[in-house]
Structure 1
Amino acid sequence: LGALASGARTAVLAVPFATPPAGAGPVLAGLDGTVRGVADAAVADVLLVPTAEGLYAVETPGPGVTVEALVPLDLTRTLAAVTLTGATGTLLADADAGATAVRRGLLAGAGLLASEQLGIAEWCLTETVRHTRERHQFNRPVGSFQALKHRMAQLWLEVVSARAAARNAADALATGSPDAPLAVAVAQAYCSGVAVHAAEECVQLHGGIGMTWEHPAHLYLKRAKADSIAYGTAGSHRQAVAELAELPAP
């Protein structure tokens, strides 16, 4: 624990990156099988593996542990397939306690992801406004054209709402509020789409340069699209909101 807290070692939760907090549960019956789409598994020193028997800590590299790098959409966040074949590990918690711990971890991850999505949207809006002020057509800044003004104004409204949702989720997690699951679900249900929309508009409103590899807009779009399924899709979080608010879909 000391090495993990100091950053000398890295632990990774061996669940698919798309797992929502409500979907926390064993990914394997025991320390045998394959888990795909595990974020940052390639650089982990320890894998935390939820199984039907409980939560195990498995050293990597180690006997019976294979980590195969995958090619993700977002190349800045690595994904891997983890295969365990008769691996050995340290039992940290029984099945019930392990599932609770994993659920809390995924909830915190989803809540913090909303702030990342907010950051993506803010960068995209700021960069787009800057570009449309500097880029001229017909001897006028393209940002002065009414159609583009409306699109950027709509993005600004979405970013303001996303900021409120992300900050509410972060506050609920930091204070241990009993409303944290609802706050996180609301933030993810909203911020996910805002990040994608802002990144798409950033690419489009930059015109030709926005479609090139040289401009970083494509990196933000890929991160936004990858984030949109991380810790559950917006749809799964809307379903969680409905259940938490006792308004399930018919």
Structure 2
Amino acid sequence: MDFGLSEEQEMLRKMSRDFLENECPKALVREMEEDEKGYSPELWRKMAELGWMGLVFPEEYSGEGLSFLDLTVLIEELGRALVPGPYLSTVVYCGLAMLAAGTDEQKREFLPKIAKGDLILSLALTEPSATWDAAGVTVKATPEGDDFVISGTKLFVSDAHVADYLLCVTRTKESGDKEDGITLFLVDAKSPGISCTPLKTIASDKQFEVVFDKVRVPRKNMLGEPDHGWAVIKEVVPKATLAHCALMVGGAQQVLEMTVNYAKERVQFGRPIGSFQAIQHKCADMATDVDGCRFVTYQAAWKLSEGLPYALEVSMAKAWVSEAYRRTCVEGHQIHGGIGFIKDHDMQLYYRRAKASELMFGDADYHRELVAQQIGL
């Protein structure tokens, strides 16, 4: 049983780590927290030139044709470097949805532009109810001639302010079955009637309230079948959840390495603090958490890439990684002491993102419930 990465995956990991250490220093991360756009167009262009935007798209759409497991390797490195920007929103949340449900015409129009870094997309799914299930979708799309008219409010829409298109999840029919009557639309983000209001978040990421006020969308911009859009969301959300787990694994790994290095260098009572058993045990707990995160995440990614059922493993991963990343950051803060709590130190960058990541695509309790259901309870 080989848990190691292939030679190609190791090359991808090394290349992406070397690139991001040079191109995405923590100074850039801090700058983008204050920047209105929240990402560097220059870095975005360089990532696209490396083929990262189209990593899992077929070659016929200007992609690299690699697997989700390969993508997981890359996303872990993005999380390690805290790369700011709409990568997951564009490539995973919306790009994979289009790959799964788009028409040939839509794929030919949008996927090559995504792969080249020319198009940014964002998923508009959650609403004021803040639930991840179909019952939370109340934004209405009403047919009018050859168009649909969308009205309602979406919350926590990542990178909506820089998106060229919003993948909006709407309700087109009332039904006793809440998963029935949901339709997806690719909405031009510059359409009249769309307004974006920034939300202040602990992670200082770019999330928005997006209000649709009688926004007209052509029927040809429908993604998937009318009234059956939830099937697409059920396919994409586990992939998005898994991608977010990989992002958290990368962050947790960096926190572990920062903390162990500090414990080796920080001298107290005439010896490195890493020589004290209490510190050693904390670092051991962190290492156990991080490796557990990685194994459960990569198991799910491998199953997905092999075409095997993976929903159970995704929920197991999210339930574990959500809390383990936070625990790792808390222990890191404890070992760093006072310096770990100041804004000038990198620890707070990771901890704030760990807290925000706990809630993305459902917290640990939500996924424990899904695990319980899938094992027959």
Which category describes the TM-score, using the shorter chain as reference length?
A: over 0.9
Aligned residues: 244
1:194-248 per-residue CA deviation (whole Å, 9 max, x = no partner) reads 100011111121111101111010010001000000010011000000001112x
In structure 1, the residue matched to 2:315 is: 185
Contact 1:168 1:183 in 2 (8 A): yes
Q: How far 1:25 moved relative to its partner?
A: 6.6
The corresponding residue for 1:4 is 114
Q: Percent of aligned positions with the same letter in both sequences? A: 32
Q: CA deviation at 1:56?
A: 1.0
Alpha-carbon offset, residue 177 of structure 1: 1.6
Q: Pick from 233, 239, 244: which aligns with 2:374?
A: 244
Q: Is the 8 A contact 1:27 1:49 kept in 2?
A: no
2:340 is paired with a residue of what secondary structure? helix
Contact 1:16 1:39 in 2 (8 A): no
Counterpart CA distance in 2 for 1:140 and 1:125 is 21
Distance in 1, Cα, partners of 2:134 & 2:272: 49
Structure 2 gap ranges (5+) = 1-109, 142-149, 173-182
Q: Which of these residues, 149, 165, 186, is aligned with residue 57 of structure 1?
A: 186
Q: In the alignment, which of 228, 236, 242 is matched to residue 97 of structure 1? A: 228
Q: Residue 268 of structure 2 corresponds to which residue in structure 1?
A: 137
Give the counterpart letter for 1:81 in structure 2: E
Please, what TM-score do these two structures have when normalized by structure 2?
A: 0.62
1:108 and 1:173 map into 2 onto residues whose CA distance is: 8
Is residue 35–residue 82 contact of structure 1 (8 Å, CA) maintained in 2? yes
Which residue identity does 1:34 align to in structure 2?
T
Structure 1 length-normalised TM? 0.92
2:214 corresponds, among 80, 83, 86, to: 86
The whole-number CA distance in structure 2 between the counterparts of 1:238 and 1:224 is 19
Distance (Å, rounded) in 2 between the aligned partners of 1:131 and 1:4: 40
- Given the superposition, is the C-alpha separation of residues 113 and 144 from structure 1 closer, same or farther in structure 2, using an over 3 Å criterion? same
The aligned residue for residue 230 of structure 1 is 360
1:9 maps to amino acid: L
Return the letter of the residue paired with 1:10: I
Q: What are structure 1's unaligned runs of at least 5 residues? A: none
Q: Is contact 1:27-1:35 (8 Å) kept?
A: no
Q: How far, CA to CA, are the matches of 2:255 and 2:114 in structure 1?
A: 34
CA contact (8 A) 1:202 1:217 kept: yes
Q: Does 1:29 align with 2:140?
A: yes
The letter for the 2-side match of 1:39 is: S
Shift in Å, 1:61:
1.7
SS at match of 1:80: strand
CA 82–73 in structure 1, closer or farther in 2 if over 3 Å, else same = same
* Residue 69 (structure 1) aligned with residue 174 (structure 2): no
